[in-house]
Structure 1
Amino acid sequence: MKSFEIPEMYRSPLITAVKQKRKEEDKLKKDFSPTLLDFGTLRIHLARHFGFCYGVENAIEIAFRTIAENPDKRIFLLSEMIHNPQVNADLQSYGITFMQDTYGKQLIPFESLTADDIVVIPAFGTTLEIEEKLRKIGIQIEKYNTTCPFVEKVWNRSEQIARKDYTIVIHGKPRHEETRATFSHASFYAASIVVKDMNQAIELGKYISGDIRDLQKIGVVNQTTMLASDTQAIADHLKQVMIATYQPAPDQISARFADTRDTLCYATNDNQSAVYGMLETKADLAIVVGGYNSSNTSHLVELCEEKLPTYFIRDESKLLSKEEIEHFDFHHKLEKNTKHYLPEKTPVDILITSGASCPDAIVERVIKRLKSFFEG
């Protein structure tokens, strides 16, 4: 797989060494057990896969190269490039201006742009409508497009089945940038609908049973950061509804329900599988590191919460002391303060993972901060 040039400030000698050793020992990526960092009174169990994925590293490389090559031009990002506060703050410190917030609210009007400006499309991609606006202004978007290749794979697969008259069902969060972009691309070619979860998929199934024209042939694709198991469960449910409704012969099921399993993102699968593997280790608590508006990170938190106390933190500064932690409750969208989060025992076993947009350097700083609580 291609390697990218990303700033050293995001890299970690410790994490790089750990990942390289695991890669050499497990070339086929079949071992999802965590890596043990044994500090005596503290034992850290690092997930097998975590941190920057291919799409994120690709986006960071393009963004920083754009800055370096265009010192005299105005550079804009359509919105946050990835969902990590440090990376986005770093880009702003180099003079990049965000045109929209995460939810699409306009911060800088398109009318203020000129053909001499540069607009970087974030890793989530953007809608066809926004692409057309930028082209009409005369802005070249292809050179500065950081859309993740695995997001584009979803768009391409959607187009393929849409051209065969399938309606596209998108499993995603309706307000997420990637889902909005995927809906725009898919709906250009065919009727499309977004379902957020299984409850909405079940409701959609009732309309399928009603023999609505646009639901006689369907295919399910997803926002690439959703839980892979949830997407598969939704696809399986809708497939069974189609079979029950239309009763196709076994070799004719694909005429009603398109197989789209090939759109699931490898990094999402790897990171989620690594969490499942990590959770087989007995531990006292889990810490998940990443941006609070990061979809893929919140799903890792969700998996950990099912098994043990879990704390979602942005960086090491949230580890206030050995007795106190500030962490994010993504269910209620607020930060909480918890005391006595570390047990009064030794050794303390902590599971650690991070989202696909979290720099390894932050994870290393979290480990060092935890280690400092057990020294002396």
Structure 2
Amino acid sequence: MEVISNSSNIKRFRVNALGVNTLEAENTRKKMKKMKAFHIPDLYKSSIIGGIKESRRLQDKLKKDYTPTVLDYGAVKFLISRHFGFCYGVENAVEIAYRTIEENADKRIFLLSEMIHNPDVNADLLSRGVKFIMDTAGNQLIAWSELTSEDVVIVPAFGTTVEIQNRLSEIGINAYQYDTTCPFVEKVWNRATAIGQKDYTIVVHGKPTHEETRATFSHSKENAPTIVVKNMAQTIELAKYITGEKPAEQFYEEFAGQFSEGFNVTKDLQRIGVVNQTTMLASDTQGIADYLKQIMIQQYNIEGSDVTAYFADTRDTLCYATNDNQSATYGLLKENADLAIVAGGYNSSNTSHLVELCEQKLPTYFISSADKILSDNLISHFDLHEKVEKITKDFIPSKEQVTIMLTCGASCPDAVVESILLRLHSFFPEAEPIVV
């Protein structure tokens, strides 16, 4: 096997294609270096993938080289994304959850909902006796009345709403004792609080039904009028209420369920600031912020720095891992390949955006595990657009050397990526063996 990570024939991708604040991202990385290493269960680890990551870390300590790692086995070649897999927030959540189980063997343990959007991790937690209080959409699976003050409740990495925190407190459960909320989600809450206290209305770019967006919306509306926009199309419609192109009364029907109580469309859109669900596509958030900023400039005939009177300088609130993974995917797509495999939970927002990027260039198969690769000519994969699993025939082309791009989301274990790699490699009997 030949491992290539910085060969001359692979162009370095150093430009930040996402248009985000690189200085802030670099500062975040430095902070991460000072934080502790996590204890992750062995079932999620991989000697192959772990070795690749450590090799790249040593070669590129500043994490500025987004070219893929190349694993060339002759008949099949894999292009492995520079950044993928468990991020800081996920490792933090996994460690807390498993430590909680270990330390509370004599108690009932609950998760508010899925801890992270990965089926393997959630299935293992369920097998250890953990029960989910709600599903990912917020539907109740276990009534609050069934919980007691003696029970343990783990808050998932997405965080939770102020209303649920209060409900747990009423039961006598400390919502912060086993809280796995990602620090980068809390960073968004803090940013929203800061600009809200300066009398700006908060515009949240996110998926309205996603656990993280629901939590961010809940915390944001404590300090300021808040509205959620899910994409640029909704943002364009929101702008029409800023400019007066649409009657104010129509707003409440069009954005039903996406604005805070008492929202005054005439008053509350005069000063705004944009934050985001941390796993959104960075270029989309940047585009939404730029568009709304330009609308405010035109609406109020603003010149120079006066824009801050109407539009808050929120900078980027995307988490470092989402930023790195998306940048690495852009770097991956600079190369040529026959197909791409993206692994992760089908309800994972950050993973779905990697799929969207790959789909723009080549056949892309979104799978949750190696079990979805049914044979050398059949694959069961998730269609993001139709929201269903499909089976595709002859997904591997017949040619002298097949090149496969491989990456995964921030909540996908290395062990899953390894099993996919091994499964695909097994379809090429003439390929050079994988040496661990």
Q: TM-score range by the shorter chain?
A: over 0.9
1:283 maps to 2:355: no
SS of 1:258 mapped into structure 2: coil
Deviates more, 1:154-163 or 1:17-26: 17-26
Tell me, in whole angstroms, the C-alpha distance in 2 between the residues paired with 1:44 and 1:351. 6
Does residue 263 of structure 1 match 2:317? yes
Counterpart check, 1:199 vs 2:233? yes
1:191-216, Cα deviation, whole Å (9 max, x unpaired): 00000000000011111113821011
Is structure 2 residue 146 aligned with structure 1 residue 112?
Answer: yes
Work out the CA distance in 2 between the residues paired with 1:118 and 1:179.
24
Correspondence 1:42-121 to 2 at 5 A: 42-121=76-155
Partner of 2:422: 368
Q: Output the amino acid matched with 2:368.
A: R
Question: In structure 1, the residue corresponding to 2:374 is in which secondary structure?
Answer: coil
Q: Is the 8 A contact 2:279 2:350 kept in 1?
A: yes
Specify which of 295, 302, 312 is matched with residue 356 of structure 2: 302
Task: Tell me how far 1:117 sits from its aligned partner.
Answer: 0.5
Task: Tell me the equivalent position of 1:339.
Answer: 393
Residue 132 in structure 1 maps to residue 166 in structure 2: yes
Residue 41 (structure 2) pairs with residue 7 (structure 1) = yes
Tell me, yes or no, if the aligned pair for 2:275 and 2:316 is still in contact at 8 Å.
no
Match of 2:268, SS? helix
Alpha-carbon distance in structure 2 between the residues aligned to 1:187 and 1:14 = 45
- Match 1:272 to one of 323, 326, 333: 326
Q: Is this contact kept in 1: 2:71–2:78, CA < 8 A?
A: yes
Structure 2 gaps of 5+ residues are 1-32, 245-264, 431-436
Letter in structure 2 aligned against 1:98: F
Deviation at 1:262, TM superposition (A): 3.6
The question of 1:16 aligning with 2:50 is answered yes
Q: Specify the code of the residue in structure 1 equivalent to 2:94.
A: I
Q: Secondary structure at the match of 1:27?
A: coil
Distance in 1 (CA, whole Å) between partners of 2:197 and 2:156 is: 27
Out of 223, 229, 234, which is 2:277 matched to? 223
Task: Tell me the distance in 2 between the aligned counterparts of 1:179 and 1:247.
Answer: 32
Q: 1:38 aligns with which of 72, 90, 97?
A: 72
Letter in 1 for 2:423: R
Give the secondary structure class of the aligned counterpart of 2:140: coil
Displacement of 1:30 in angstroms is 1.3
Gaps of at least 5 residues in structure 1 are: none
User: Which of 212, 224, 230 is the equivalent residue of 1:178?
Assistant: 212
Aligned to 1:188: 222
Aligned CA-pair RMSD: 0.9
Cα offset, 1:311, TM superposition: 0.3
Give deviations 1:39-80, integer Å, cap 9, x for gaps.
110000000000011110000000000000000000000000
The CA distance in 1 between the partners of 2:342 and 2:76, in whole Å, is 17
Letter in 2 for 1:215: L
Report the Cα distance in structure 1 between the residues aligned to 2:315 and 2:343, rounded to whole angstroms. Answer: 28
Number of aligned residue pairs: give it: 376
Counting aligned pairs with the same residue, the percent is 64
Q: Which residue of 2 aligns with 1:241?
A: 295
Distance 1:61 1:29 in 2: 24
4+ residue stretches of structure 1 with deviation over 3 A?
none
Contact 2:71 2:79 in 1 (8 A): yes
Determine the C-alpha separation between the residues in 1 that align with 2:218 and 2:338: 44
SS of alignment partner, residue 105 of structure 1: coil
Q: Residues 321-336 of structure 1: matches in 2 within 5 Å?
A: 321-336=375-390
- SS of the aligned residue for 2:283 comes to helix
Q: TM-score, normalised by structure 2?
A: 0.85
Structure 2 partner of 1:145:
179
**Alignment partners' CA distance in 2, 1:104 and 1:144:** 19
Instruction: Provide the rounded CA distance (Å) in 2 between the counterparts of 1:195 and 1:92.
Output: 34
